[in-house]
Amino acid sequence: MVEEQLRRRGIRDERVLAAMAMVPRHLFVPSGSQPESYEDRPLPIGDGQTISQPYMVAIMTQYLDLKGEERVLEIGTGSGYQAAILAELSKMVFTVERISALVQKSERILTDLGYKNIRFQSGDGTKGWAEEAPFDGIIVTAGAPEVPKALRSQLAEGGKMVIPVGPRYSQTLLKILREGDHFEEEDTTGCVFVPLVGEFGWKEE
């Protein structure tokens, strides 16, 4: 997975590559899908949700340029796999998920794996996690109609955010760098994420 799907496609951050080589992705997918866990695609995790494609996890993580001392907010815990990668690379991870069954499942897996630097919250991540702001990095792993205002305001000075933005079923991965009150934005690759559903996201269908 790391050599063929990540390094060969241009993932260069050795810390990201090492974390993805180390975290056992198969533990984060339902047992029936375990043989496919390292394939080049997202997989269903139940409740109509998915664990993202490994390359997408890598490219989003690489953008945050984590050195080990950061506080990172993730919106969309899902399986907990991305949270594990972030926990390997930063000081503290705050992860929010709206489906409580997924919060419970992912918390159990991550606790069993021994992660002590992840805090979980069940709720609407379009509002961020104000009590713990500001964050050096914010990663949104569901597709948003636009960047939620609260997430911008919870980004630290010099902080980076990566978020898929666009129509409900196809988005562009947006990279954002905060410099004072200015937000430098760059569109990168096209992508397809499940919708970010919440007060400042999509309405439930």
Which pair of structure tokens corresponds to residue 87?
């926990």
**Residue 20's closest CA among 61, 50, 74, 49?**
61
Residues 118-137 that bind ligand SAM (CB under 6 A): 124-126
Structure-token match 């990668």, residue found: 85
How far is Cα 188 from Cα 179, in angstroms, rounded to an integer? Answer: 19
Residue 52 designated active-site:
yes
Residues 19-58 that bind ligand SAM (CB under 6 A): 49-52
Which pair of structure tokens corresponds to residue 53?
């494609």
DSSP string, 6-45: IITTT---HHHHHHHHHS-GGGGS-GGGGGGTTSSS-EEE
Of 71 and 127, CB closest to ligand SAM: 127
Is residue 93 close enough to count as binding ligand SAM by CB under 6 A? no
Of 15 and 168, CB closest to ligand SAM: 168
* Nearest-approach distance from CB 142 to ligand SAM, in angstroms: 4
Catalytic residue (choose from 31, 37, 52, 100): 52
Residue ranges binding ligand SAM (CB under 6 A)? 49-52, 75-76, 78-79, 81-82, 96-99, 102, 124-126, 141-142, 193-194, 196-198, 201
Residues with active-site annotation: 52
